[in-house]
Structure 1
Amino acid sequence: MKMFSVSHKTAFVVDHCPYMAESSRQQVECDVLTKSRGQGMIPLAPVSKSLWTCAVECSMEYCRILYDVYPLKKLINYIVSDSEFHILNSWRQEDQSTHELMSALAAVGPPNPQEDPECCSVLHGLVAAVESLCKITEYQHEARTTLMDTADRVANRGRIICLTNAKSDTHVRMLEDCVQETILEQNKMAAGSDRLMPIQQCELVLVHIFPQGEDTLVSDRPKKEVSSLLTSQVHSVRAGRHLATKLNILVQQHFDLASTTITNIPMKVRLLSSEEQHANTSANYDVELLHHRDAHLEFFKSGEVLRINNNLGLAIKPLHGLKETVTLKWCTPRTNSVELHYCTGAYRISPTDVNSRPSSCLTNFLLNGRSVLLEQPRKSGSKVISHMLSSHGGEIFLHVLNSTRSTLEDPPSISEGCGGRVTDYRITDFGEFMRENRLTPVPESPDTEASGKPPAERAKAQLERYTRYWPMIISQTTIFNMQAVVPLANLIVKESLSEEDLLTCQKTVYNLVDMERKNDPLPISTVGSRGKGPKRDEQYRIMWNELETLVKTHVAGSERHQRVLDCIIACRSKPPEEEERKKRGRKREDKEDKAEKNINKDSEDKSWQESERLKGALERGKEEQGESEVIKDSPDSPEPLNKKPRLEEIQLPEKAKGPVSLLTMWTNRITVANSRKHQEFAGRISSVNNKAELYQHLKDENGMDLHENGKATR
């Protein structure tokens, strides 16, 4: 890892040629006290700043924000270019302040419009900027001294920001070529010097400034790689507030800053004595602050969700239509620091508009020892306090409060994941995974060097292969819950397969085909599904899909991996007639299931109706039994006509024989009732095979046996 990024050294080159004295044509009103001005007084005429003044003010704002957020290790070298270059400060830390730069700029003064423009050029400043980047800073020298054995880790990279008024795109390309040639020359000189370092990377940011109301002669261009040492980008900006906004965006991009707007800040408004009727009124103000992006790290992790859905109620909105800002709401300030929440980070802040009255009141309020809590604006629910503003040692910090789980508490349970409480993690499999991927120290030897890759690289490659497809939850996988798939799953992650490994994988696939033929059940999870889960065919389809996904992630390893995938595709593809047969079988099973459900429902209804009928018949039988005990008739006398048969005499079918119709029950009842109305005919009682026998006593008297034709035989 190279030390010292491009943002370590920034060289500002501001054009001081006569054409920079031209007016920006943005008028500034000086007489704003219109109501307090007496009669007869002539109002002051508006003024406009020059291009030089706009460039100096905006570049100073760039430096102020940088020094506020990064007081150390972020250095600026300010250079003014006209007929020659003027270096206003050095890379030393004590020269890094806006006070030093403003004093030096005051000594330089505004550009002279009467000076010969042919003698002035911004090229002098660009050449001086490249030479300045080759100089070693105090931090680079300290790092090189500390890392004597690995001094090559100390990189020399930097950025050049040039504020000028270019003539055309051709002029811009000429400036880029000049910087490129100067870098090559300086690198040759620095190669044999101990006080200089060759430039390894340089970023050139050209900002073309032109007056308002005119058309630009230079077109914008995004970052372009001119060579391996130089990248360039061009911004064409109108002077005035547009230039200030552009440099504000650039400082955020160059130093990884973010914007936060604090809303609903209560502030007392004290107006002039002529308007005492409106004095001491209160209003709410907004103040924009810049700070390091890590203060909103949790927000930017799910930035698209917050921008589109706004699920958390956090407002990330464009500011002035050019950049984004995170909106946080002012809370009632706390005076006692003991009551404040613990924080997980503190970052310096810098107001965007430091001279505005709301920013001044907020900074004075915080510098007096007060602290302010900031909450996320939410559409519903309780408020969430996520940040805090407080000062330490005369500097204001934005503290990040942990609004979820405290870092001082016990570590969270493994069953508490980001998606809620999950209890079916593959904990045992993960332990086995860690054992298979343990790192051990390997001594350097010719064998390890001859293998091609260092041991660390081989370990990373193995870890990458093992994690290409590795479900974390048991309910999200099928094949990793099957013992039959273990041989294939352990072998397919290897970098190369032997012929024996290929046969083992194919044998595993054939075993799965045999399981499907036998219709064996699979360990399919039913979490979140109703009923018994998917049917058997669906279970095997899920299993084959997951197995194919696992093998496809490793198919680029070797030819044998592809043969395993071909085997799976061939085994899971069935003939059309078998598929049609299975479809018919599934349809028949569905029909049988529906019919069985209907039969069960009808039998339940009929059994309930039969039980109700039996209950009524039992009650009637008890009443008739009471009447029969009172009226005792002789056995020869017929029963009364209105005598009803008792329940015991009705032959009810058994439940095992199935349901009995109402007609059958009624016929049985009528038959029993009719049998009690008269004495049965004697011939019918002694009949054989439903035929009555005539002349029963004739055989006994005469000893003759009569046949059906009436003839007697002895």
Structure 2
Amino acid sequence: MKTFSVSHKTVIVVDHCPYMAESSRQQIECDMLTKSRAQGVIPLAPVSKSLWTCAVECSMEYLRILYDIYPARKLVNYIVSDSEFHILNSWRQEDQSVQELMSALAAVGPPNPREDPECCSILHGLVAAVESLCKITEYQHESRTTLMDMAERVANRGRIICLTNAKSDTHVRMLEDCVLETIQEQNKLAAGSDRLMPIQQCELVLVHIYPQGDDTLVSDRPKKEISSVLNSEVHSVRAGRHLASKLNVLVQQHFDLASTTITNIPMKPTLNVCEQEEQHANTSANYDVELLHHRDAHIEFIKSGMHCLSTSRDSGLKETVTLKWCTPRTNSVELHYCTGAFRISPVDVNSRPSSCLTNFLLNGRSVLLEQPRKSGSKVISHMLSCHGGEIFLHTLNSTRSTLEDPPSISEGCGGRVTDYRITDFGEFMRENRLTPFPDMPVDAAGRAPFERAKAQLERHTRYWPMIISQTTIFNMQAVVPLANLIVKDSMTEDDLLTCQKTVYNLVDMERKNDPLPISTVGSRGKGPKRDEQYRIMWNELETLVKTHVGTSERHQQVLECISACRSKPPEEEERKKRGRKREDKEDKTEKNGKESEEKGWAPDSERLKGAIEREKEEQSESEVIKDSPDSPEPFNKKPRLATEELLSLEKSKGPVSLLSLWTSRITQANSRKHQEFAGRINSVNNKAELYQHLKDENGMDVHENGKATR
């Protein structure tokens, strides 16, 4: 099917009515001689262009960019409207040039401000534009002739750009209605004609131009569908540089163009064309030049996800890619591997930097362009070169060439990667293997086999990490049952019980403090601690289940089970918190002990302090265990040695050796492991008193030899 896009035919209608002769009020200084002017000479007064002049200049700039980048197959018909319409060129390829249109506009001349405005209207030009779109171009005629019996498949689309000074929003709606009625009438006439084609789609772009300093009477409006064959959009723009910037943006949108700004262009040492200018005779400066080209020149940036876009200097409405100038090489024999070549057009064609750059390239030189980077090696991505008198922007291959050997599976875009889940991916391919069906059976939901296969592939790839170091749950054998069942379209009651059992097994692993297969790639030391490992595991498991939670109600129950198991009672959280503090302090004490052994000295007071701190931690932990309803009652309720007693012992007996402290600690720890002998509790000087109740009963005093005295 031969189709032609909307950009194949463009009709530009410029208002030539008397009100277009009004001044744009943008001052232009004509007297540049400020220092060399003789005394008594009156300086030249500034001038301003009319609305007609601004519209013609901006439309010619629109066409210049179009013809530079698309010398063929993009056709423009230029129409001037006043008391009648004036068609300045035809759809023929030989009439498509800026020189022809400028000569025709010179013959038309500026609008006459003394002409009767009631006799002039932009409607004449809009009606002529619709009639012109119905005419067949030579490219459309060639396609119709080639297809012969299927000539109706050749599409006829077009765009109308109207530059006028509208009165109000009501006036704009009246212009849109006029265009729609004309399209409907012309389609009826074209249906029975061989030299006309009905319009399948038309885009109307109304540009309202008003002088600077005035308030606009027309509001902007984005693209809106008026009917099935007509879309309309309205732009309200001030005359002058604002209108030029607006048409520069429109030409990029209409013809799928992009902007590239070349920075750090050295003028004097490299571009010797401009050395004769007196202003820069003894200086060297760097300049920037903005170029327009087809958007495909940036396709490598889009594929790689690189963000090289920045706001253009001339207009904040458009974006540009910044590339840095490289010093050109004189060796013209060197060839570069290019993936594309695109024509370019300078945005400011008459500026000194643009003319110097184009002259430099037309002399047979080539310029390499690199991506600006803050660090790392430079990457040359584009090249400017001239072929047959036309300048092209070449896209260089900055990644692996397709002419080389195919890359290994262990190599990726970001560098060499060796831990891909190759085995898991093979299993994934086996599970999603397609098999041909002879009769294409349909399931209960009315889906064909290929639709079910696409749905299954979508479910399996909602969360599927490609690298081993980026996942935890897919490296655990305990999570395999849940991972295989959660991707199913529907789950049975047994599947739900299996998933819940898997979650409970993970909870049991966390209670036992079992290690997890956490990757330590890119981290220092042994990696995250055990609590952090389980937190990462639970987060990833919850992410996996959340991607399938909307599949069925049982999938939601699996997520609820995970959420319930992750929420722990406050006693357990406090116990784990104290356990973490104890581990940190024990590691710190062990580290300090090793350092003191290496130095050969350790004060006894520091050792005593460490023992006291550890005893405090054990006492607080025992209180938590005691408060827990599941904890058993300890055998020995004998109070431990208080901190004040240890300090008084140190003061009374002097410095205590480390062996004495350790022996005392072991003795106390062993005494708490069994029920204490009752006689030892009431002993005096480590001697148990016999017949304790004899004195109370008989009033006798018992001595050590067993004799009683009164």
Instruction: Provide the TM-score with structure 1 as the length reference.
Output: 0.72
**Contact 1:89/1:95 (8 A) holds in 2:** yes
Cα displacement (A) at 1:252:
1.8
Which whole-Å CA distance do the structure 2 matches of 1:377 and 1:540 have between them? 42
Structure 2 counterpart of 1:238: 238
AA aligned opposite 1:171? H
Letter in 1 for 2:430: R
Tell me the equivalent position of 1:464. 458
Q: Which of 319, 341, 355 is the equivalent residue of 2:350?
A: 355
Aligned pairs for 1:592-631 (under 5 A) are none
Contact 2:64 2:98 in 1 (8 A): yes
1:539 aligned onto 2:533: yes
Deviates more, 1:495-504 or 1:190-199: 190-199
Residue 333 of structure 1 aligns with an amino acid whose one-letter code is: P
Structure 1 residue 474, shift from structure 2 partner: 0.9
Q: Contact between 1:83 and 1:121, CA under 8 Å: does it hold in 2?
A: yes
Cα 1:137/1:448, change in 2 over 3 Å: farther
Counterpart residue number, 2:639 = none
Secondary structure at 1:471 match in 2: coil
1:435 has 2:453 as partner:
no
**Deviation digits for residues 11-44 of structure 1 (CA, Å, limit 9, x no counterpart):** 2111122222333344556665789999999987
Q: Which residue of 2 aligns with 1:97?
A: 97
Deviation for aligned residue 1:172? 1.8
How big is each residue's C-alpha offset from its partner over 1:642-696, in whole Å with a ceiling of 9 and x where there is no partner? xxxxxxxxxxxxxxxx9878xxxxxxxxxxxxxxxxxxxxxxxxxxxxxxxxxxx
Within 5 Å, give how 1:244-643 maps onto structure 2.
244-262=244-262, 263-266=265-268, 267-269=272-274, 285-299=287-301, 306=308, 317-319=312-314, 323-376=318-371, 384-439=379-434, 445=439, 447-448=441-442, 452-453=446-447, 457-583=451-577, 586=580
Q: 1:137 to 1:282 in 2, by over 3 A?
A: same
Residue number in structure 2 paired with 1:311: none
Q: Deviations over 1:409-447 (max 9, x none)?
A: 44444444344443222122223323333455556x563
CA contact (8 A) 1:607 1:659 kept: no
Aligned twin of 2:642: none
CA gap of 1:337–1:560, structure 2 versus 1, over 3 A, is: same
Preserved contact between residue 29 and residue 45 of structure 1 (Cα < 8 Å): yes
Alignment of 1:61 onto 2:56: no
Query: 1:122 Cα deviation (Å)?
Result: 1.0
Match of 1:616 in 2: none
Structure 2 distance, partners of 1:449, 1:68, is 57
CA separation of 1:104/1:458 partners in 2, compared to 1, >3 Å: closer, same or farther?
A: farther
Residues 421 and 176 (structure 1 numbering): CA distance in 2 closer, same or farther, change over 3 Å?
Answer: same
- Give, in whole Å, the separation in 2 of the partners of 1:412 and 1:210: 59
The percentage of aligned residue pairs carrying the same residue is 85
Mapped contact 1:271–1:279 kept (Cα < 8 A): yes
**AA paired with 1:291?**
H
Structure 1 residues 379 and 502: alpha-carbon distance in aligned structure 2, compared to 1, 3 A threshold? closer
Partner of 1:163: helix, strand, or coil? Answer: strand
Deviates more, 1:279-288 or 1:39-48: 39-48
What is the distance in 2 between the residues matched to 1:606 and 1:286?
69
Other structure's SS at 1:334 match: coil
2:274–2:356 Cα contact (<8 Å) kept: no
| Corresponding position: 1:120 with 2:115 | no
Kindly indicate whether the alpha-carbon contact (under 8 Å) linking 2:472 and 2:540 is maintained by their aligned counterparts in 1: yes
- Identify unmatched segments of 5+ residues in structure 1: 308-314, 610-657, 662-714
Provide closer, same or farther for how the CA distance between residues 31 and 533 of structure 1 changes in structure 2, counting only shifts above 3 A: closer
Report what 1:639 is aligned to: none
User: Contact (CA 8 Å) 2:383, 2:395: kept in 1 or not?
Assistant: yes
- Aligned-partner Cα distance in 2 for 1:77–1:182: 18
Please say if 1:111 is aligned against 2:115. no
The whole-number CA distance in structure 2 between the counterparts of 1:36 and 1:250 is 43
Please tell me whether the aligned partners of residues 325 and 368 of structure 2 are also in contact (alpha carbons under 8 angstroms): yes
Compute the displacement of 1:316 (Å): 5.8
In the aligned structure 1, how far is the partner of 2:113 from the partner of 2:659? Answer: 120
Give the alignment's Cα RMSD to 1 decimal.
Answer: 4.3
DSSP 3-state at the match of 1:234: strand
User: Structure 2: which 5+ runs fail to align?
Assistant: 604-656, 661-710
Structure number, greater radius of gyration? 1
Q: Which residue of 2 aligns with 1:711?
A: none
**Residues 159 and 530 (structure 1 numbering): CA distance in 2 closer, same or farther, change over 3 Å?**
same
Alignment correspondent of 2:607: none
Q: In the aligned structure 1, how far is the partner of 2:36 from the partner of 2:581?
A: 93
C-alpha distance in 2 between matches for 1:591 and 1:243: 72
Secondary structure at 2:381's aligned position in 1? strand
Relative to structure 1, is the Cα distance of residues 318 and 467 closer, same or farther in structure 2, using a 3 angstrom cutoff? Answer: farther
1:118 CA displacement: 1.4
Question: What letter matches 2:88 in structure 1?
Answer: L
- The one-letter amino acid paired with 1:397 is F
Please name the residue that 2:651 is paired with. Answer: none
**How far off its partner does 1:175 sit?**
1.7
8 Å CA contact 2:478, 2:506 repeated in 1: yes
Which region of structure 1 is more displaced relative to structure 2, 336-345 or 187-196? 187-196
| Partner Cα separation in structure 2 for residue 550 and residue 333 of structure 1 | 53
- Secondary structure of residue in 2 paired with 1:337: coil
Query: Contact 2:267–2:274 at 8 Å: present in 1 too?
Result: no
Superposed CA offset, 1:255-299 (max 9, x none)? 232233333233455779xx8x99797665543321123333455
CA deviations 1:562-607 (Å, max 9, x no partner) are 2222233334444455545555555565566666667777788889
Q: Separation in 2 of the partners of 1:457 and 1:153? A: 31
Q: 2:311, 2:318 within 8 Å by CA — same for their partners in 1?
A: no
Tell whether the 8 Å contact from 1:26 to 1:48 is kept in structure 2 after alignment: yes
Q: In 2, distance between residues paired with 1:47 and 1:517?
A: 86
Matches within 5 A, 1:663-674: none
The more displaced of 552-561 and 144-153 is 144-153
Aligned residue pair count:
604
User: TM-score normalized by structure 2?
Assistant: 0.72
Distance 1:456 1:227, change over 3 A: farther
Change over 3 Å in CA distance of 1:447–1:64 after alignment to 2: same
| One-letter amino acid of the counterpart of residue 89, structure 2 | N
Q: Distance in 1 between matches of 2:482 and 2:152?
A: 47
Give the corresponding residue for 2:14: 14
* CA spacing shift, 1:29–1:660, aligned 2, 3 Å: closer
The structure-2 alpha-carbon separation of the partners of 1:518 and 1:32, relative to structure 1 and needing over 3 Å to count, comes to closer
